[in-house]
Structure 1
Amino acid sequence: MSMSQHHFCQLLKQSTKVAPYQHLIQQRVERAKQLLKQPKLTVTYVAIEAEQIGLEKYSP
């Protein structure tokens, strides 16, 4: 399925009730919160892992 970036952003905003960038930030924060519960992980590792959320999720 192919759609324009504009149309995709409109659909995402409609389904999540927030702007696409805000949705991405929320996803990263939630992932970081989950990872920070694991005492063996470093803050640096958590930051890198949380930052990676988004690109692969919305890639074709």
Structure 2
Amino acid sequence: MGLFLVLLALFQALPVAVAAWQARQWPDTLSEWIRLALLPGALWLYLRYFSILGCRQCGDDDDVR
């Protein structure tokens, strides 16, 4: 459920960020500002908890098989 919510926030924020970047101007409406404000938090949560880049156990292969 957490991954779904993080991806939902990312998919809401990314189009606003890309459109603002391509137009080289800030968003006009309050809803676009709110969606844009979700981007840093959603990216951090995704990279920290759901991405392979934030995996804590990836380098812990001390177990002998």
**TM range, smaller chain:** 0.3 to 0.5
Higher Cα Rg, which structure: 2
TM-score normalised according to structure 2 size = 0.34
TM-score normalised according to structure 1 size = 0.36
Q: Which has the higher helix share?
A: 2
